[in-house]
Amino acid sequence: MSTTSTPIRIGYCLSLTGPLAGNSRSAQLAHEIWRDDVNSRCGLLGRPVELVCYDDHADASRVPGLYKRLMDEDRVDLVIGGYGTNSLLPAMPLIMERERFFVGLMGLGVNNSFGYPNYFAMIPTGPDPNAALTEGFFELAAAQTPRPRTVALVSADAEFSRNPVLGAKANAVKHGFRIVHETTYPLTTASFTPIMDAVAESDCDLLFLCSYLADSVGLMRAIHAHRFRPRMVGGAMIGPQNTSIRTTLGPLLNGLVNYEYWVPVPGMMFPGVRRMIDAYQERAGYAGVDALGHYMAPLAYAQMQVVAQAIEATGGLDDIILSTFTSEETFDTVMGKIRFGKNGEWAQPQVLQVQFRDIAGHEAEQFKDGSRQIVVSPGRLASGPLIFPYADALRSGR
Protein backbone atom coordinates (compact mmCIF):
# COMPACT_ATOMS: atom_id res chain seq x y z
CA MET A 1 0.00 0.00 0.00
CA SER A 2 1.41 3.37 -0.96
CA THR A 3 2.02 5.62 2.01
CA THR A 4 1.18 8.61 -0.19
CA SER A 5 -2.35 7.43 -1.00
CA THR A 6 -5.09 9.79 0.15
CA PRO A 7 -6.89 8.01 3.00
CA ILE A 8 -10.58 7.18 3.02
CA ARG A 9 -11.91 8.91 6.13
CA ILE A 10 -14.95 7.45 7.91
CA GLY A 11 -16.54 9.59 10.62
CA TYR A 12 -18.95 8.93 13.46
CA CYS A 13 -19.57 9.49 17.14
CA LEU A 14 -19.76 7.11 20.08
CA SER A 15 -20.70 7.56 23.74
CA LEU A 16 -17.15 7.00 24.99
CA THR A 17 -17.97 8.56 28.36
CA GLY A 18 -21.17 8.38 30.38
CA PRO A 19 -23.50 5.42 31.03
CA LEU A 20 -23.03 3.90 27.55
CA ALA A 21 -19.24 4.07 27.60
CA GLY A 22 -18.57 0.38 28.26
CA ASN A 23 -20.38 -0.83 25.15
CA SER A 24 -19.25 2.11 23.02
CA ARG A 25 -15.59 1.57 23.83
CA SER A 26 -15.91 -2.12 22.97
CA ALA A 27 -17.38 -1.13 19.62
CA GLN A 28 -14.53 1.32 19.06
CA LEU A 29 -11.94 -1.41 19.63
CA ALA A 30 -13.71 -3.71 17.16
CA HIS A 31 -13.74 -0.86 14.60
CA GLU A 32 -10.02 -0.32 15.13
CA ILE A 33 -9.31 -4.03 14.63
CA TRP A 34 -11.28 -3.89 11.38
CA ARG A 35 -9.33 -0.81 10.26
CA ASP A 36 -6.03 -2.53 11.01
CA ASP A 37 -7.14 -5.68 9.18
CA VAL A 38 -8.21 -3.71 6.11
CA ASN A 39 -5.07 -1.57 6.04
CA SER A 40 -2.89 -4.66 6.31
CA ARG A 41 -4.51 -5.76 3.04
CA CYS A 42 -3.85 -2.50 1.13
CA GLY A 43 -6.91 -0.63 2.45
CA LEU A 44 -10.05 0.00 0.41
CA LEU A 45 -9.79 0.85 -3.28
CA GLY A 46 -6.03 0.86 -2.73
CA ARG A 47 -6.29 3.63 -0.14
CA PRO A 48 -5.65 3.43 3.62
CA VAL A 49 -8.63 3.88 5.94
CA GLU A 50 -8.79 6.39 8.78
CA LEU A 51 -11.50 6.52 11.44
CA VAL A 52 -12.57 9.88 12.86
CA CYS A 53 -14.55 9.32 16.05
CA TYR A 54 -15.93 11.91 18.47
CA ASP A 55 -17.33 11.37 21.96
CA ASP A 56 -20.98 12.43 22.27
CA HIS A 57 -20.87 11.86 26.06
CA ALA A 58 -24.20 9.98 25.82
CA ASP A 59 -25.81 13.38 25.28
CA ALA A 60 -28.23 13.19 22.35
CA SER A 61 -28.20 16.98 21.94
CA ARG A 62 -24.52 16.87 20.95
CA VAL A 63 -24.99 14.37 18.13
CA PRO A 64 -26.26 16.59 15.27
CA GLY A 65 -23.44 19.09 15.81
CA LEU A 66 -20.81 16.36 15.78
CA TYR A 67 -22.06 14.94 12.48
CA LYS A 68 -22.22 18.43 11.00
CA ARG A 69 -18.60 18.93 12.07
CA LEU A 70 -17.58 15.60 10.55
CA MET A 71 -19.17 16.44 7.22
CA ASP A 72 -18.51 20.19 6.95
CA GLU A 73 -15.19 20.71 8.76
CA ASP A 74 -13.48 17.32 8.72
CA ARG A 75 -14.80 16.54 5.25
CA VAL A 76 -14.99 12.81 5.93
CA ASP A 77 -15.71 10.62 2.92
CA LEU A 78 -18.39 8.56 4.68
CA VAL A 79 -20.30 8.64 7.95
CA ILE A 80 -21.52 5.66 9.94
CA GLY A 81 -23.90 5.44 12.89
CA GLY A 82 -22.76 5.25 16.49
CA TYR A 83 -23.94 2.81 19.14
CA GLY A 84 -27.56 2.70 20.21
CA THR A 85 -30.79 4.57 19.69
CA ASN A 86 -29.55 7.49 21.80
CA SER A 87 -26.82 8.29 19.25
CA LEU A 88 -28.65 7.29 16.07
CA LEU A 89 -32.05 8.96 16.35
CA PRO A 90 -30.76 12.53 16.77
CA ALA A 91 -28.42 12.08 13.80
CA MET A 92 -31.15 11.02 11.39
CA PRO A 93 -32.64 14.40 10.36
CA LEU A 94 -29.23 15.74 9.28
CA ILE A 95 -28.25 12.45 7.62
CA MET A 96 -31.52 12.49 5.68
CA GLU A 97 -31.10 16.14 4.70
CA ARG A 98 -27.62 15.37 3.31
CA GLU A 99 -28.77 12.05 1.76
CA ARG A 100 -25.89 10.13 3.31
CA PHE A 101 -25.33 6.38 3.38
CA PHE A 102 -25.70 5.45 7.07
CA VAL A 103 -25.10 2.07 8.74
CA GLY A 104 -26.04 2.28 12.43
CA LEU A 105 -25.04 0.02 15.31
CA MET A 106 -27.62 -1.55 17.64
CA GLY A 107 -30.38 1.01 17.41
CA LEU A 108 -33.81 -0.54 17.97
CA GLY A 109 -36.44 0.54 15.42
CA VAL A 110 -34.55 3.76 14.62
CA ASN A 111 -35.97 4.03 11.08
CA ASN A 112 -39.55 3.00 11.86
CA SER A 113 -40.91 6.53 11.69
CA PHE A 114 -38.48 7.93 9.09
CA GLY A 115 -38.52 5.22 6.42
CA TYR A 116 -35.20 6.61 5.15
CA PRO A 117 -33.97 4.40 2.28
CA ASN A 118 -30.24 4.97 2.93
CA TYR A 119 -30.27 3.72 6.55
CA PHE A 120 -29.18 0.20 7.52
CA ALA A 121 -29.28 -1.36 10.98
CA MET A 122 -26.51 -3.54 12.35
CA ILE A 123 -28.70 -5.32 14.87
CA PRO A 124 -30.15 -8.81 14.33
CA THR A 125 -33.72 -7.98 15.38
CA GLY A 126 -35.10 -8.15 11.84
CA PRO A 127 -38.10 -6.45 10.22
CA ASP A 128 -40.12 -6.25 13.46
CA PRO A 129 -37.41 -5.27 15.96
CA ASN A 130 -39.73 -4.54 18.88
CA ALA A 131 -41.20 -8.04 18.81
CA ALA A 132 -38.04 -9.95 17.83
CA LEU A 133 -36.06 -8.94 20.90
CA THR A 134 -38.55 -10.64 23.25
CA GLU A 135 -40.36 -13.22 21.13
CA GLY A 136 -38.04 -16.08 22.10
CA PHE A 137 -38.67 -15.50 25.81
CA PHE A 138 -42.46 -15.79 25.47
CA GLU A 139 -42.26 -18.60 22.91
CA LEU A 140 -40.12 -20.66 25.29
CA ALA A 141 -42.49 -19.99 28.18
CA ALA A 142 -45.51 -21.03 26.14
CA ALA A 143 -43.90 -24.40 25.40
CA GLN A 144 -43.43 -25.36 29.07
CA THR A 145 -45.52 -27.85 31.07
CA PRO A 146 -47.51 -26.91 33.02
CA ARG A 147 -48.00 -23.86 30.87
CA PRO A 148 -47.47 -20.47 32.56
CA ARG A 149 -50.44 -18.13 32.34
CA THR A 150 -49.51 -14.71 33.75
CA VAL A 151 -46.71 -12.16 33.38
CA ALA A 152 -45.45 -9.10 35.24
CA LEU A 153 -43.61 -6.39 33.24
CA VAL A 154 -40.93 -4.35 35.02
CA SER A 155 -38.95 -1.78 33.05
CA ALA A 156 -36.76 1.28 33.42
CA ASP A 157 -38.42 4.60 32.69
CA ALA A 158 -36.07 5.42 29.81
CA GLU A 159 -36.04 5.74 26.04
CA PHE A 160 -34.22 2.46 25.42
CA SER A 161 -36.89 0.38 27.19
CA ARG A 162 -40.01 1.68 25.45
CA ASN A 163 -39.75 -0.34 22.24
CA PRO A 164 -38.87 -3.66 23.94
CA VAL A 165 -41.82 -3.26 26.33
CA LEU A 166 -44.16 -2.68 23.40
CA GLY A 167 -42.80 -5.86 21.86
CA ALA A 168 -43.20 -7.75 25.13
CA LYS A 169 -46.85 -6.73 25.40
CA ALA A 170 -47.49 -7.85 21.82
CA ASN A 171 -45.77 -11.18 22.42
CA ALA A 172 -47.64 -11.73 25.68
CA VAL A 173 -50.93 -11.32 23.81
CA LYS A 174 -49.73 -13.46 20.90
CA HIS A 175 -48.86 -16.36 23.20
CA GLY A 176 -51.89 -16.01 25.45
CA PHE A 177 -50.32 -14.63 28.64
CA ARG A 178 -52.29 -12.29 30.88
CA ILE A 179 -50.44 -9.20 32.13
CA VAL A 180 -51.17 -9.01 35.87
CA HIS A 181 -48.67 -6.33 36.86
CA GLU A 182 -46.80 -3.55 35.07
CA THR A 183 -44.45 -0.95 36.51
CA THR A 184 -41.65 1.36 35.51
CA TYR A 185 -38.91 2.69 37.76
CA PRO A 186 -36.50 5.65 37.43
CA LEU A 187 -32.87 4.89 36.59
CA THR A 188 -31.97 6.51 39.91
CA THR A 189 -33.75 3.75 41.88
CA ALA A 190 -31.60 2.68 44.84
CA SER A 191 -33.68 -0.19 46.26
CA PHE A 192 -35.56 -2.73 44.17
CA THR A 193 -37.08 -4.56 47.14
CA PRO A 194 -40.39 -2.64 46.97
CA ILE A 195 -40.59 -3.46 43.25
CA MET A 196 -40.12 -7.15 43.99
CA ASP A 197 -42.70 -6.98 46.80
CA ALA A 198 -45.26 -5.70 44.28
CA VAL A 199 -44.27 -8.40 41.76
CA ALA A 200 -44.70 -11.07 44.44
CA GLU A 201 -48.13 -9.65 45.28
CA SER A 202 -49.17 -10.26 41.67
CA ASP A 203 -48.13 -13.94 41.97
CA CYS A 204 -47.04 -13.85 38.31
CA ASP A 205 -45.70 -16.90 36.50
CA LEU A 206 -43.31 -14.93 34.30
CA LEU A 207 -41.25 -11.90 35.30
CA PHE A 208 -40.23 -9.87 32.26
CA LEU A 209 -37.46 -7.33 32.87
CA CYS A 210 -36.23 -4.48 30.69
CA SER A 211 -33.34 -2.85 32.55
CA TYR A 212 -29.97 -1.21 32.04
CA LEU A 213 -26.52 -2.00 33.45
CA ALA A 214 -26.61 -0.74 37.06
CA ASP A 215 -30.30 -1.47 37.59
CA SER A 216 -29.84 -4.97 36.14
CA VAL A 217 -27.45 -5.62 39.02
CA GLY A 218 -29.89 -4.18 41.56
CA LEU A 219 -32.81 -6.17 40.18
CA MET A 220 -30.97 -9.50 40.16
CA ARG A 221 -29.82 -8.97 43.73
CA ALA A 222 -33.36 -8.12 44.81
CA ILE A 223 -34.83 -11.12 42.99
CA HIS A 224 -32.31 -13.50 44.51
CA ALA A 225 -32.88 -12.15 48.02
CA HIS A 226 -36.68 -12.31 47.77
CA ARG A 227 -38.77 -15.29 48.84
CA PHE A 228 -40.89 -15.13 45.67
CA ARG A 229 -39.83 -17.30 42.74
CA PRO A 230 -41.49 -16.68 39.38
CA ARG A 231 -41.32 -19.64 37.03
CA MET A 232 -39.23 -17.77 34.47
CA VAL A 233 -37.21 -14.54 34.79
CA GLY A 234 -35.52 -12.26 32.26
CA GLY A 235 -36.25 -11.17 28.71
CA ALA A 236 -34.69 -7.83 27.75
CA MET A 237 -32.08 -6.91 30.34
CA ILE A 238 -29.10 -4.87 29.15
CA GLY A 239 -26.14 -5.77 31.32
CA PRO A 240 -25.86 -9.57 31.57
CA GLN A 241 -24.18 -9.50 28.13
CA ASN A 242 -21.25 -7.54 29.61
CA THR A 243 -18.33 -9.24 31.31
CA SER A 244 -18.20 -6.73 34.17
CA ILE A 245 -21.86 -7.32 35.03
CA ARG A 246 -21.44 -11.10 34.76
CA THR A 247 -18.49 -11.11 37.12
CA THR A 248 -20.25 -8.74 39.52
CA LEU A 249 -23.35 -10.96 39.75
CA GLY A 250 -21.71 -14.37 39.38
CA PRO A 251 -24.06 -17.14 40.61
CA LEU A 252 -26.95 -14.66 40.95
CA LEU A 253 -27.30 -14.97 37.18
CA ASN A 254 -28.12 -18.68 37.35
CA GLY A 255 -31.53 -19.38 35.84
CA LEU A 256 -31.92 -16.04 34.08
CA VAL A 257 -33.22 -16.25 30.49
CA ASN A 258 -32.21 -13.21 28.46
CA TYR A 259 -31.51 -12.02 24.94
CA GLU A 260 -28.08 -12.16 23.31
CA TYR A 261 -26.81 -11.47 19.79
CA TRP A 262 -23.70 -13.64 19.72
CA VAL A 263 -22.40 -16.43 21.96
CA PRO A 264 -19.34 -18.66 21.32
CA VAL A 265 -21.36 -21.81 20.58
CA PRO A 266 -20.99 -24.01 17.47
CA GLY A 267 -24.02 -22.58 15.67
CA MET A 268 -22.58 -19.04 15.84
CA MET A 269 -19.03 -19.76 14.67
CA PHE A 270 -19.31 -17.90 11.37
CA PRO A 271 -16.21 -17.48 9.18
CA GLY A 272 -13.72 -15.06 10.71
CA VAL A 273 -15.47 -14.54 14.03
CA ARG A 274 -13.11 -16.65 16.11
CA ARG A 275 -10.05 -14.84 14.77
CA MET A 276 -11.72 -11.46 15.36
CA ILE A 277 -12.72 -12.33 18.94
CA ASP A 278 -9.20 -13.58 19.67
CA ALA A 279 -7.75 -10.30 18.37
CA TYR A 280 -10.24 -8.33 20.46
CA GLN A 281 -9.50 -10.26 23.67
CA GLU A 282 -5.75 -9.90 23.13
CA ARG A 283 -6.13 -6.10 23.03
CA ALA A 284 -9.01 -5.66 25.51
CA GLY A 285 -6.89 -5.46 28.65
CA TYR A 286 -4.60 -2.81 27.23
CA ALA A 287 -7.59 -0.84 25.90
CA GLY A 288 -9.45 -1.12 29.21
CA VAL A 289 -12.65 -2.46 27.66
CA ASP A 290 -14.97 -5.43 28.20
CA ALA A 291 -12.67 -8.44 28.50
CA LEU A 292 -14.63 -10.84 26.27
CA GLY A 293 -16.37 -8.62 23.72
CA HIS A 294 -19.11 -11.13 22.91
CA TYR A 295 -21.90 -8.55 22.86
CA MET A 296 -20.46 -5.62 20.92
CA ALA A 297 -17.43 -6.76 18.96
CA PRO A 298 -19.00 -9.11 16.36
CA LEU A 299 -21.70 -6.63 15.37
CA ALA A 300 -19.35 -3.63 15.33
CA TYR A 301 -16.86 -5.50 13.15
CA ALA A 302 -19.68 -6.71 10.88
CA GLN A 303 -20.91 -3.11 10.57
CA MET A 304 -17.60 -2.15 9.01
CA GLN A 305 -17.52 -5.28 6.83
CA VAL A 306 -20.81 -4.19 5.26
CA VAL A 307 -19.39 -0.73 4.55
CA ALA A 308 -16.19 -2.18 3.12
CA GLN A 309 -17.90 -4.72 0.88
CA ALA A 310 -20.22 -2.04 -0.50
CA ILE A 311 -17.26 0.26 -1.26
CA GLU A 312 -15.22 -2.45 -2.96
CA ALA A 313 -18.14 -3.82 -4.97
CA THR A 314 -19.25 -0.40 -6.27
CA GLY A 315 -15.72 0.92 -6.72
CA GLY A 316 -16.43 4.26 -5.07
CA LEU A 317 -17.79 6.35 -2.21
CA ASP A 318 -21.03 7.71 -3.65
CA ASP A 319 -23.67 7.63 -0.91
CA ILE A 320 -26.63 6.84 -3.17
CA ILE A 321 -24.80 4.12 -5.10
CA LEU A 322 -23.61 2.55 -1.84
CA SER A 323 -27.14 2.65 -0.41
CA THR A 324 -28.69 1.08 -3.50
CA PHE A 325 -26.11 -1.70 -3.50
CA THR A 326 -26.54 -2.38 0.23
CA SER A 327 -30.32 -2.61 -0.09
CA GLU A 328 -30.04 -5.29 -2.77
CA GLU A 329 -27.09 -7.51 -1.86
CA THR A 330 -26.14 -10.16 0.71
CA PHE A 331 -23.06 -9.57 2.86
CA ASP A 332 -20.61 -12.10 4.29
CA THR A 333 -19.72 -11.06 7.84
CA VAL A 334 -18.53 -12.41 11.17
CA MET A 335 -22.24 -12.46 12.11
CA GLY A 336 -23.01 -14.72 9.16
CA LYS A 337 -24.73 -13.78 5.93
CA ILE A 338 -26.74 -10.56 6.23
CA ARG A 339 -29.37 -9.18 3.90
CA PHE A 340 -31.28 -5.99 4.64
CA GLY A 341 -35.03 -5.53 4.27
CA LYS A 342 -37.74 -3.10 5.32
CA ASN A 343 -36.46 0.13 6.90
CA GLY A 344 -32.91 -1.18 6.60
CA GLU A 345 -33.43 -3.84 9.25
CA TRP A 346 -32.09 -7.38 8.78
CA ALA A 347 -34.38 -9.32 6.47
CA GLN A 348 -34.24 -12.27 8.88
CA PRO A 349 -33.97 -11.90 12.68
CA GLN A 350 -31.22 -13.72 14.57
CA VAL A 351 -31.89 -12.96 18.24
CA LEU A 352 -30.80 -15.55 20.79
CA GLN A 353 -32.28 -16.36 24.15
CA VAL A 354 -29.71 -17.77 26.57
CA GLN A 355 -30.06 -19.26 30.00
CA PHE A 356 -27.28 -18.67 32.51
CA ARG A 357 -26.40 -21.68 34.61
CA ASP A 358 -23.65 -23.60 36.39
CA ILE A 359 -22.01 -20.30 37.35
CA ALA A 360 -19.77 -20.62 40.40
CA GLY A 361 -17.76 -17.69 41.68
CA HIS A 362 -17.08 -14.44 39.90
CA GLU A 363 -14.25 -15.22 37.48
CA ALA A 364 -14.57 -14.02 33.88
CA GLU A 365 -12.84 -17.08 32.43
CA GLN A 366 -15.91 -19.30 33.00
CA PHE A 367 -17.90 -17.21 30.49
CA LYS A 368 -15.31 -17.43 27.73
CA ASP A 369 -16.45 -20.62 25.97
CA GLY A 370 -20.25 -20.29 26.13
CA SER A 371 -20.70 -23.15 28.59
CA ARG A 372 -22.36 -20.83 31.15
CA GLN A 373 -24.67 -19.14 28.61
CA ILE A 374 -26.73 -21.94 27.07
CA VAL A 375 -28.52 -20.92 23.87
CA VAL A 376 -32.09 -22.16 24.36
CA SER A 377 -33.69 -20.34 21.39
CA PRO A 378 -33.99 -20.40 18.42
CA GLY A 379 -33.89 -24.16 18.05
CA ARG A 380 -31.56 -24.19 15.02
CA LEU A 381 -28.85 -22.47 17.07
CA ALA A 382 -29.58 -24.05 20.47
CA SER A 383 -26.71 -25.43 22.50
CA GLY A 384 -28.91 -27.01 25.20
CA PRO A 385 -32.45 -27.28 26.62
CA LEU A 386 -34.16 -24.81 28.95
CA ILE A 387 -34.18 -25.69 32.65
CA PHE A 388 -37.67 -24.82 33.93
CA PRO A 389 -38.85 -23.51 36.34
CA TYR A 390 -36.48 -20.74 37.45
CA ALA A 391 -36.16 -22.19 40.95
CA ASP A 392 -34.62 -25.37 39.53
CA ALA A 393 -32.23 -23.50 37.23
CA LEU A 394 -31.22 -21.22 40.10
CA ARG A 395 -29.75 -24.23 41.91
CA SER A 396 -27.27 -24.93 39.10
CA GLY A 397 -23.72 -24.13 40.05
CA ARG A 398 -24.28 -24.91 43.73
Position 4 scores a pLDDT of 61
**pTM for the model:** 0.92
Residues in contact with 254: Cβ distance below 8 Å, sequence separation at least 6, in sequence order: 356, 357, 358, 359, 393, 394, 395, 396, 397
Each as own residue / partner, the long-range contacts of residues 191-199 (CB below 8 Å, 24 or more positions apart, any chain) are: 191/218, 191/222, 192/218, 192/219, 192/221, 192/222, 193/222, 193/225, 193/226, 195/154, 195/219, 195/222, 196/222, 196/223, 196/226, 196/228, 197/226, 199/152, 199/154, 199/228, 199/230
Label residue 1 by pLDDT band (50, 70, 90).
very low
Position 396 scores a pLDDT of 59
Taking residue 305's Cβ as centre, other Cβ atoms within 10 Å add up to 22
pLDDT at 333 over 70: yes
What integer is the mean pLDDT of 158-184?
Answer: 92
pLDDT at 2 over 50: no
Query: Which of 160, 161, 205 is closest to 183 using CA atoms?
Result: 161
List pLDDT tens digits, range 234-284: 999 989 999 999 999 999 999 999 999 999 999 999 999 999 999 999 999
Burial class (CB in 10 A: 0-12, 13-18, 19+), 331: buried
- Which has the minimum average pLDDT: 46-60, 133-147, 384-398? 384-398
Position 19 scores a pLDDT of 80
Position 398 scores a pLDDT of 46
List pLDDT tens digits, range 200-241: 999 999 999 999 888 999 999 999 999 999 999 999 998 999
Look over the chain and give the mean of its residue pLDDT values, rounded to a whole number: 95
List pLDDT tens digits, range 78-98: 999 999 888 999 999 999 999
Q: Which domains does the chain have, with CATH numbers?
A: 8-127+269-344 (3.40.50.2300), 129-263+352-394 (3.40.50.2300)
Position 374 scores a pLDDT of 96
